[in-house]
């Protein structure tokens, strides 16, 4: 047996042995083959120099190389790109003189001294660089008030008469405009029959409501400034264009490899250069330059170890890569090894029903045997899936069957706990009732039974853990830390104790409520 085959088999043993109760005695190496997979790798660098034009408002920023006009800007940009492409072969050549034998990447700075930024600015035409244009909806921000003809006041309507206009006087209401009250001279108007108008205070006019006395109307659109912000320049008075000439280098690494095994092709072509070097012997050849494209070329040679294993009735073929024969896909080896255990558990679960008493012998034995395989306890470990040690279907089955099995075993151990807890809480309630505490405590009367139930349940849970440890791992509680840890992991993972607690809460509450509703006599 060659070194690589031994290494590959050792990996299987090392990974599988701690995970399954059956160990690796069941694995029989059937066939082995060590060969080479040959291919080529290409690392291609494609530099692209291009310009990008942007239009902005406002003045030209200081860091920009300034030219005089927009057409000049286009000219210098195009010229810069042309010059850069002309210089490119020379720059690549001198870069390769230093870097041909290395794995260094071609960077934009090797191809072009950039980015280079050019710009031109010009004054805004519509606003003549002022940033604003005159508002054509008003005169200097205001419009005429038609209500008062720009006087700010209008004739008082209270003292207005058709013939005389506004007089500033109105009829005296104290005497009904007669001048006399109870035969005497009216004290309000002193017999004049008229009094000063309360609308205008005698001045005959009132403030114009429309213009609030200002005599003109401020224009809303220009906020009474008479100016509107110039839209093309956004009020800055200037417009400018910026052209940026820059270089990007696209890098593309690919492996060309033909192999009769599709797994070999996919494993070796989906790695970068570093990843490939870790597995295979990678030899660089002279780089090839065509046009502006630089291509590094490599010969790839990887040792492939094919290890055929007979597992039960199935034959698995594992593939190791490189000198250490690293295996990346274990081809769901655990489900194959533990096939019979899973089938037995499935059968035991379906044949056992939920009960509160008794000892489901068959289910306990099968579950205990199932849990002897570590993999079933730590089924949530993502690594197991990603390495192909288990498959998604197996994980799904374990996560369905195991809580069902454990749930049925736990429920069979719950009968006494439920009975004692429920009766204890009822008894405490009755004591409270007959000792007349109930009438004094009101709603608080349920607290002592609840406390009794919680304490009782906690004690029974302790006992349950001990029993489960003994049943499933053959360990007395406290004596075997590893078994304790496994049990806690299982109970936590599937929320089994919480389900039992919920059930107990329901039973105790129902019984307590029934008792509380009974027409109990007071002694």
- Which residues bind to Zn ion, rule: CB under 5 A? 124, 127, 135, 137-138, 145, 147-148, 156, 158-159, 172, 174-175, 186, 188-189, 197, 199-200, 208, 210-211, 219, 222, 230, 233
Answer whether the bond into residue 248 is a cis peptide, omega within 30°. no
Pairing of strands 326-327, 314-321: antiparallel
Residue 69 tokens, joined: 């006009």
Q: Judged by CB, which is closer to Zn ion: 124, or 426?
A: 124
Helix (H) or strand (E) holding 162: none
Q: Which is nearer to Zn ion, 147 or 317 (CB)?
A: 147
- Nearer residue to Zn ion within complex by CB, 138 or 418: 138
What is the distance between the alpha carbons of residues 450 and 457, in angstroms, rounded to a whole number? Answer: 10
In whole angstroms, how close is the CB of 67 to Zn ion at the nearest point?
A: 22
Smaller CB separation from Zn ion, 173 or 254: 173
Long-range pairs for 279-287: beta carbons < 8 A, 24 or more residues apart: 279/321, 279/322, 279/326, 280/37, 280/321, 280/322, 282/41, 284/101, 284/103, 286/100, 287/96, 287/100
Least distance from Zn ion to the Cβ atom of residue 58, Å: 11
Residue 135 or 468 having the CB closest to Zn ion: 135
- Give min distance, CB of 161 to Zn ion, in A: 11
| Least distance in angstroms from the C-beta of 242 to Zn ion | 19
- For residue 120, the minimal CB distance to Zn ion (Å) is 17
Is 288 within 8 Å of 297 (Cβ atoms)? yes
Rounded Cα–Cα distance for residues 153 and 207 (Å): 4
Phi, psi of 98 (to 5 degrees): -90, -25
70 CB contacts (<8 Å, ≥6 apart)?
Answer: 120, 122, 241
Q: Which is nearer to Zn ion, 165 or 358 (CB)?
A: 165
Least separation in angstroms between CB 214 and Zn ion: 7
Minimum distance, C-beta of residue 122 to Zn ion, in the bound complex (Å): 11
Nearest to 110 by CA among 243, 297, 249: 249
Query: H helices then E strands: how many in the chain?
Result: 16, 20
CB of 111 to Zn ion, least distance (A): 40
Based on the number of CB atoms within 10 Å of its own CB, is 342 exposed (0-12), middle (13-18) or buried (19 or more)?
Answer: middle
Q: How far is the CB of 184 from Zn ion (least distance, A)?
A: 11
- Quote the CA–CA distance of 461 and 297 in Å, as a whole number: 67
Can you tell me the distance from the alpha carbon of 313 to that of 26, in angstroms, rounded to the nearest whole number?
10
Question: What residues does 317 pair with on adjacent strands?
Answer: 308
Of 491, 518, 343, the C-alpha closest to 429 is 518
- Helix, strand, coil abundance in the chain, percent, nearest 5: 40, 25, 35
| Closer CB to Zn ion, 211 or 276, in the complex | 211
Comparing CB distances to Zn ion, the nearer of 161 and 188 is 188
How many Cα atoms occupy the beta-carbon half-sphere of 439 within 13 Å?
Answer: 7
Least Å from the CB of residue 207 to Zn ion: 8
Closer residue to Zn ion (CB): 29 or 218: 218
Residue among 234 and 515 whose Cβ is closer to Zn ion: 234
Pair 332, 23: CB distance under 8 Å = no
């Amino acid at each position: 047996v060659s070194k690589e085959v031994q290494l590959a088999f050792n990996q299987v043993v090392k990974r599988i042995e701690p995970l399954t109760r059956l160990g690796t005695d069941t694995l029989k190496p059937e066939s082995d083959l060590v060969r080479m997979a040959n291919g080529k790798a290409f690392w291609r660098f494609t530099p692209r120099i291009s310009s990008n034009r942007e239009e902005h408002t406002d003045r030209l920023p200081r860091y920009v190389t300034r030219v005089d006009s927009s057409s000049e800007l286009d000219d210098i940009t195009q010229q810069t790109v042309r010059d850069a492409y002309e210089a490119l072969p020379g720059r690549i050549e001198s870069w390769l003189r230093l870097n041909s034998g290395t794995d260094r990447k071609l960077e934009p700075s090797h191809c072009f001294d950039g980015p280079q930024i050019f710009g031109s600015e010009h004054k805004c035409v519509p606003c003549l660089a002022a940033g604003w244009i005159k508002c054509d909806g008003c005169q200097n921000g205001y419009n005429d008030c038609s209500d008062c003809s720009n006087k700010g006041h209008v004739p008082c309507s209270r003292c207005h008469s058709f013939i005389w206009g506004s007089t500033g006087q109105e009829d005296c209401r104290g005497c009904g405009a007669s001048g006399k009250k109870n035969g005497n001279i009216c004290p309000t108007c002193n017999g004049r029959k008229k009094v000063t108008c309360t609308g205008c205070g005698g001045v005959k006019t009132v403030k114009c409501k429309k213009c609030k006395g200002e005599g003109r109307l401020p224009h809303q659109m220009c906020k009474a400034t008479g100016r509107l912000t110039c839209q093309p320049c956004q009020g800055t008075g200037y417009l400018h264009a910026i052209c940026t000439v820059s270089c990007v280098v696209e890098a593309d690494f690919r492996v060309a490899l033909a192999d009769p095994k599709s797994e070999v092709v996919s494993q070796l072509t989906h790695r970068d250069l570093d990843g490939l070097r870790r597995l295979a012997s990678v030899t660089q050849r002279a780089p090839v330059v065509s046009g502006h494209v630089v291509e590094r070329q490599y010969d790839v040679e990887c040792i492939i170890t094919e290890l055929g294993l007979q597992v039960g009735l199935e034959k698995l073929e594992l593939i190791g890569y490189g000198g250490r024969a690293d295996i990346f896909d274990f081809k769901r080896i655990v489900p194959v090894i533990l096939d019979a255990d899973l089938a037995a558990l499935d059968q035991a679960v379906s044949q056992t029903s939920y009960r509160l008493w008794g000892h489901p012998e068959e289910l306990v034995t099968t579950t205990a045997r199932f849990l002897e395989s570590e993999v079933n306890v730590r089924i949530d470990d993502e690594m197991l899936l990603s390495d192909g040690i288990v498959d998604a279907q197996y994980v799904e089955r374990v996560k369905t069957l195991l809580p069902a099995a454990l749930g049925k075993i736990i429920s069979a151990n719950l009968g006494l706990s439920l009975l004692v807890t429920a009766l204890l809480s009822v008894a405490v309630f009755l004591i409270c009732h007959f000792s007349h505490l109930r009438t004094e405590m009101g709603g608080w009367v349920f607290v002592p039974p609840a406390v009794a139930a919680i304490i009782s349940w906690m004690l029974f849970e302790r006992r349950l853990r001990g029993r489960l440890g003994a049943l499933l791992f053959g360990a007395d509680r406290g004596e075997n830390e590893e078994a304790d840890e496994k049990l806690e992991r299982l109970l936590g993972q599937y929320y089994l104790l919480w389900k039992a607690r919920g059930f107990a809460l329901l039973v105790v509450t129902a019984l307590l409520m029934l008792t509380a509703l009974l027409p109990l006599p007071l002694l």
